[in-house]
Amino acid sequence: MALTATEGGVKLALARGVFYNTHMELCRDLSSLCVGALPGRLTAVDAMCASGVRGIRYKKENKNVASVALVDVDGKAVSCARKNATLNKLGGSFRCVKSDANKFLPANRFDIVELDPFGSPAPFLHDAARCLSANRGGYLSLTATDVAVLCGAHHAACLKNYGAAPLNNEFCHENAARILAAKTILTLAPFNLAALPIFTFSHRHYVKMIFSVETGADAAVAAVKQLGFVSYCPSCTWREAARMPRHLSCPHCSHQIENGGPLFIGKLWDEKVLGKMLALNVKRKYAKKKEIEKILSTMIAESAIPSYGYYDLHTLAKKMGGAILGMDDAVEKLQKTGAAVSRTHFCPTAVRTDASHETVLKVLSK
């Protein structure tokens, strides 16, 4: 008996042996909203399409997507994707290709390149860059499921795959996104391509990032200049992001600090894109519509705060050896100091603020 599923605006006929992860529906919802928020009439490629669900959703749910190519190295997956594209009446606006992504991408050009591999997207960035270079820019959408590596649980693997030293601390998921961004920026820059994040989402075992990619040597250099390092004190949680590390010891408690990077220290979201996504979500019939609204609203709030990292209240309680204010009280008291403060989608027990480290410790301790 055939396996079937319904997700977003599409129906799927699933084949045994062809990968389909129900837990990634939220990621695909948000990704499709982001694609729908982009300007112009766009061509897209889902370079590791499996069942085809992501690419098909991009085309069917968004009027600005003119066509989609569904590519996979596995013939069974290509057959499944073709069946699903036909089932969802994509007509002549799709093509299915059996090919390795790193062979297909440099021989073609698209406005949106989607990379959703098992593990790290790093091995595919070079050929994605060649595709986008031929297209004179566009958008690059990446999913990294090797979060344990990016968060510092496997230090050597992060050095090998991303050329960066990770930090396994309370804001490691933000570090993970910023390391992925740095790798992307550095890989695309030699092609005179400037990649900058317009959407960042961390959830469960993955990080999802979508980049705007522009052409030009000056723009590429400007993107690289937004890379730097994060310094962190494991004793008092002091942190600082800068182009180069400036301290050997913590300026707050004198403990030896740890450094991570290189990583991206610029903005992780484009607020205009987030606003358009929020408006589009109202019109969509997604199963997780309310959750998406909450996530996007939180992102809009935190994207307005120029800070690196966030303060996890549980971590502060352990480090300070005493009681810490609850979330609502923490937000209220920090706001009374005149600081900008919000929750963060990266961690449900954390706040993002531009208050000084000293102010945070003073205000949040009971």
Domain assignments of the chain as residue spans, ordered by start:
3-264, 271-364
Contact 166, 260 (CB under 8 A): yes
- pLDDT of 275-315, one tens digit each? 999 999 999 999 999 999 999 999 999 999 999 999 999 99
Return the pLDDT at 322: 79
Return the pLDDT at 1: 34
Query: Residue type for 317, please?
Result: A
Q: Measured between alpha carbons, how far is residue 339 from residues 55, 212, 297 in Å?
A: 42, 30, 19
Query: Model's pTM, two decimal places?
Result: 0.97
Architecture of domain 3-264: 3-Layer(aba) Sandwich (3.40)
In sequence order, what are the beta bridge partners of 249? Answer: 256
Environment class of residue 351 by beta-carbon count within 10 Å: exposed (0-12), middle (13-18) or buried (19+)? buried
Residue with tokens 């795959």: 161
Return the pLDDT at 324: 82
> What's the Rg (C-alpha) of the chain?
21
Return the pLDDT at 47: 99
Q: Which residues of 37-48 are buried (b: 16+ CB within 10 A; e: fewer)?
A: bbeeebbbbbbb
CATH, range 271-364: 3.30.56.70
Low-confidence ranges of the chain (pLDDT < 50): 1
Contact 83, 9 (CB under 8 A): no
